[in-house]
Chain A
Amino acid sequence: MNHSVNLIVALKAEAQPLIEFFELKALPVDETISIFTNHEVTLALAGMGKSAAAHAVQCVKNTNQGCVNAWLNIGIAGHGEFDVGQGFLANRIVDQTTMKTWYPQFVFQPVCRTGTLMTVDKVETDYSDPVGYDMEASGFYSAAVNCSTIELVHTYKIVSDNPRNSVAKVTRSKIDNLIKSKLSEIRCTIDSLKKLTAEVATRSSSDELLHQFLQRWRFSVTQQIQLNSLLRKTNVLKIDIDVESNEYMSCRNGKSALKVVERTVETHWRN
Chain B
Amino acid sequence: MYRNIYVESEVLRYPRVKEILARYTDASVVTCDRYTEIFNLKSQDFRLQKKQPALILARKHRGYIQQAPAGYGVGGDHNFYFSTMMNCLYDCRYCFLQGMYRSANHVVFVNYEDFSSALLKTAARFEKDEQVWFFSGYDCDSLALEPVLSMADFFIETVSSSQNVWLELRTKSTQIRSLLKRTPLPNIVTAFSFTPTAISEQIEHQVPGVEKRLAAMLRLQEQGWSVGLRFDPLIYSHNFREQYQDLFNLLFLSLNPNLIHSISIGVFRLPKHFYKQLERLYPDDSFIAQPFNSRNGQVSYPLNIELEMKSWCYKQIQEHIEKNKIFFAEISVPDSIPATSISLKSELDVRNVN
Contact = CB atoms under 8 A, between A and B. Distances in A.
B215 interface: no
Given A101-B37, A200-B45, A91 B4 contact: yes
A149 B283 contact: no
Contacts of B284: 202-203, 236
Given A114-B28, A199-B48, A266-B291, A103 B43 contact: no
A149 B43 contact: yes
Interface stretch (A4-12, A78-86, A105-113): A105-113
A146 interface: yes
B344 interface: no
B81 interface: no
Q: Which of A114, A149, A232, A271 has the most chain B CB atoms inside 10 A of its CB?
A: A149
B30 interface: yes
Interface of chain B, helix or strand or loop or mixed? loop
B37 A103 contact: yes
B346 interface: no
Interface string B312-350: 000000000000000000000000000000000000000
B285 A236 contact: yes
B40 to A, nearest CB: 12
Indicate the size class of the contact surface on chain A. 20 to 34
Interface string A214-237: 000000000000000100110011
A101 B283 contact: no
Contact of A107 (B49, B238, B280, B291): B49
Contacts of A149: 43-45, 48
B48 A106 contact: no
Contact of B44 (A91, A105, A109, A199): A105
A150 B43 contact: yes
Contacts of B41: 145, 150
A101 B238 CA distance: 51
A204 B283 CA distance: 8
B283 A91 contact: no
A55 interface: no
Contacts of B37: 101, 103
A239 to B, nearest CB: 10
Nearest to A264: B291
A233 B3 contact: no
Nearest to A202: B284
A235 to B, nearest CB: 8
B295 to A, nearest CB: 15
B289 interface: yes
A202 B6 CA distance: 31
Nearest to B31: A92
A105 B45 CA distance: 10
B3 A91 contact: no
Interface in A237-271: 237, 262, 265-266, 269, 271
Contact of A200 (B3, B48, B52): B48
A115 to B, nearest CB: 8
Nearest to A271: B238
Interface in A8-30: none
Q: Which of A105, A204, A236 has the most chain B CB atoms inside 10 A of its CB?
A: A105
A106 to B, nearest CB: 5
B32 interface: yes
Given A103-B6, A203-B284, A233 B48 contact: no
Given A105-B49, A232-B283, A145 B290 contact: no
B15 to A, nearest CB: 25
Contacts of A77: none
Nearest to B39: A103
A148 interface: yes
Contacts of B38: 103, 105
Given A106-B3, A203-B281, A236-B285, 17 more contacts: A92-B30, A103-B6, A103-B38, A105-B49, A149-B44, A150-B41, A150-B43, A150-B44, A150-B45, A151-B45, A229-B279, A233-B289, A233-B291, A236-B283, A236-B286, A269-B291, A271-B238
Interface of A: 91-92, 101, 103, 105-109, 114, 116, 145-146, 148-152, 196, 199-200, 202-204, 229, 232-233, 236-237, 262, 265-266, 269, 271
8 contacts: A91-B28, A105-B49, A108-B51, A108-B52, A149-B45, A200-B48, A236-B285, A262-B291
